[in-house]
Amino acid sequence: MTETDSITLQVNGEQRRIDAALHDTLLTVLRDRLQLTAAKRGCNQGVCGACTVQIDGESMRACLSLAHNCEGADVRTLEGLGAEPRMRALQQAFAAAGAFQCGFCTPGMLVSAQALLEKNADPDDAAVRTALSGNLCRCTGYVKIIAAVRAAAAALHPEGGSAALPAGAQGTAR
Amino acid sequence: MAPLHGLYRPRTVDEAVGLLAEDDEARLLAGGATLVAMLNARVIEPTALISLRFIDEIKGIAKLSDGTLRIGAFTRHRETAASALLLGSSGVIRDAASQIANATVRNMGTIGGSVAFADPGLDYPPALVAAGALIELASKEGRRTVAASEFFVDWYTTALQPGEMVTGVLLRPSNGGAGVYVKHARVAGDYATASAAVCLEADGRCRVAIGACGPAPLADPAIDAALSGDLSDAALATAADRLAAAADPLDDVRGSADYRRRLIAPLLRRAVRAAEAALQRGRARAAARR
């Protein structure tokens, strides 16, 4: 027997009213109730990063977030980020670089990479590796993924990204 | 076991400890990085959860009027890792925060959640012991503080009493000291196989603590006294031998107990030498300003 309750979540800018059990994670609600299936259920333990979404502008694990505890928060999934210029550049760069094998980790990689590019317009390899360190690719295609993120940054700021942010703003949290 | 029947959203610590006093099977939900993973795996089946997300008084890092730094329990690792307030030897806390798991988990996890969970492989416990931090606690009966060296009692066991919650961490101001946390892990983002935290004050006082080599951080005031004023290779070797003899490490997938004991000397030496270098850099900067 499980108690469910109606909650209102703000997902991709829209208010959505959903019935959810108290133990339901945001991932369960996104995938099974709202049919937003870009976030993947990999480990359900917060290890693999396939379920990464943005909550209040920060990349977080949907599988480690209880849906009921997300009321009032701004939840963005890959579906809702697709039109954002950085995400479009990332998607194009991933396709151009062939930064896929099975593709299961890709949505999480993209959401984490987009959060990185919002804070750091011209990340070096180390910054990309750090930002993606919570996203596992079990096909081990990391080299092309890192190259794709850097290519997306270059495409967004062809003049060299360092000029795109004021001095001192690189890599700092918002 | 009764199903999860409530998620409470208190706005104050008093409200939260009131709820905790009414239901001792309720659990406090901070960042969720560990607790929700345990719920998903059905390792724990609490009757109710008390969300700490809406309690402003346990968020953020602030300097109190007497100079003490307070890190609220609901401060995420990301914020602690980037704090400009954690100067001098308090930098050991920032250093530890920046090495926890990965960027996404650092966006979620909180210092209160970490210290209350007290997994011996975590990064904060040895850093807090080396920093001489106080853990700030609240219950319906009132507030108290416990020294970090006494807070971590055993495997996953702390000085927290039933009905009590962690509300923050208090750090003494450090004037011109340096703090360094060195972690050895199989891959970046893993729990520590072993770790060393060192706080070196400008007057030569030194405090060290070793992580992941027993049920609680390894530290000994007598070892700190011996190292204060003598950081020679010989003194460090003696300290490492004594810490290794006192260690009670696990034999697990991250390393054998013997391997972990052998890690203590190099990690301690690396952390102490890095702290000395940071102290020198700080002195050079201060001299340049004069």
Q: Is the backbone of residue B121 left (phi > 0), alpha (psi -120 to 50) or beta?
A: alpha
Same domain, A72 and A99: no
Q: How confident is the model at residue B60, as a pLDDT?
A: 98
Closest-CA residue of B relative to A28 is B40
Same domain, A75 and A102: no
- Cβ-Cβ contacts under 8 Å for B277 (sequence gap 6 or more): none
d(CA B240, CA A139): 41
- Is the CB of residue B44 less than 8 Å away from at least one CB of chain A? no
Confirm if A45 and A27 have CB atoms less than 8 A apart: no
Same domain, A67 and A98: no
State the pairing for strand pair B134-139/B27-29.
unpaired
Same domain, A57 and A99: no
Same domain, A97 and A118: yes
Same domain, A51 and A106: no
A169 located within any domain: no
- Cβ-Cβ contacts under 8 Å for A87 (sequence gap 6 or more): A78, A81, A110, A114
pLDDT band for position A60 (50/70/90)? very high
Residue B179's closest CA among B221, B213, B208? B208
A170 located within any domain: no
Helix axes B257-289, B233-246, angle to 10 degrees: 140
**H-helix or E-strand containing B282?**
helix B257-289
Same domain, A22 and A64: yes
Q: How confident is the model at residue B2, as a pLDDT?
A: 60
CATH of the domain at A47: 3.10.20.30
Tell me how many residue pairs between chain A and chain B have CB atoms under 8 A apart.
83
Tell me the chain B residues in contact with residue A49 when contact means C-beta distances shorter than 8 Å. Answer: 102, 104
Tens of each residue's pLDDT in chain B, 290 residues = 467 889 999 999 999 999 999 998 899 999 999 999 999 999 999 999 999 999 999 999 999 999 999 999 999 999 999 999 999 999 999 999 999 999 999 999 999 999 999 999 999 999 999 999 999 999 999 999 999 999 999 999 999 999 999 999 999 987 789 999 999 999 888 999 999 999 999 999 999 999 999 999 999 999 999 999 999 999 999 999 999 999 999 999 999 999 999 999 999 999 999 999 999 998 888 889 87
Closest-CA residue of A relative to B103 is A131
B77 located within any domain: yes
CATH of the domain at A113: 1.10.150.120
Domain count, chain A: 2
d(CA B82, CA A35): 37
Same domain, A51 and A88: no
A123 located within any domain: yes
A146 located within any domain: yes
Q: How confident is the model at residue B243, as a pLDDT?
A: 98
Domain count, chain B: 1
Q: Is the pLDDT of residue A161 over 90?
A: no
A10 located within any domain: yes
Q: Provide the residue type at A71 as one letter.
A: E
- Is the CB of residue B100 less than 8 Å away from at least one CB of chain A? no
Structure tokens of A95? 């396709």
B135 located within any domain: yes
B246 located within any domain: yes
Domain assignment of residue A103, given as a range: 82-164
DSSP B175-230: SS-EEEEEEE-SSTTSPPSEEEEEEE-TTS-EEEEEESSSSS-B--HHHHHHHTT-
B201 located within any domain: yes
Same domain, A88 and A59: no
Closest-CA residue of A relative to B43 is A45
A100 located within any domain: yes
CA distances from B162 to B16, B31, B146, B150 (A): 13, 21, 15, 17
Closest-CA residue of A relative to B52 is A69
A117 located within any domain: yes
Closest approach of A31 to chain B, Cα-based (Å):
16
Same domain, A11 and A75: yes
Proportion of chain A in helix, strand, coil states, percent, rounded to 5: 40, 15, 40
Query: Given CA atoms B209, B32, B75, A113 in this order, what sign does their dihedral have?
Result: positive
d(CA B196, CA B254): 16
B28 located within any domain: no
Which letter, b or e, does each residue of B124-140 get, where b requires 16 or more Cβ atoms within 10 Å of its Cβ? bbbbbbbbbbbbbbbbe
Domain assignment of residue B89, given as a range: 57-285
Same domain, A106 and A50: no
Closest-CA residue of B relative to A57 is B107
B226 located within any domain: yes
Same domain, A99 and A70: no
- Cβ-Cβ contacts under 8 Å for B98 (sequence gap 6 or more): B77, B81, B106
Confirm if B191 and B254 have CB atoms less than 8 A apart: yes
Helix axes A106-119, A85-97, angle to 10 degrees: 130
Enumerate residues 214 to 253 of chain B having a beta carbon within 8 A of any beta carbon in chain A: none
H runs (alpha helix) in A100-141? 106-119, 125-131
- Domain finish residue from A56, A80, A104: A80
A116 located within any domain: yes
Give the other-Cβ count within 10 Å of A28's Cβ.
19
- Domain finish residue from A80, A101, A122: A80
- Cβ-Cβ contacts under 8 Å for B177 (sequence gap 6 or more): B88, B89, B199, B200, B201, B202, B279
CATH of the domain at B238: 3.30.465.10
Among candidates A1, A64, A173 on the partner chain, residue whose Cβ is nearest the Cβ of B33: A64
Q: Provide the residue type at B168 as one letter.
A: G
- Is the CB of residue B38 less than 8 Å away from at least one CB of chain A? no
Closest approach of A72 to chain B, Cα-based (Å):
11
Confirm if A53 and A6 have CB atoms less than 8 A apart: no
d(CA B117, CA A47): 18
Report residue A61 CA to chain centroid gap: 9
Q: What is the mean pLDDT of residues A147-153?
A: 97
Q: How confident is the model at residue A173, as a pLDDT?
A: 36
Is the CB of B32 less than 8 angstroms away from the CB of A65? Answer: yes
Closest approach of B208 to chain A, Cα-based (Å):
28
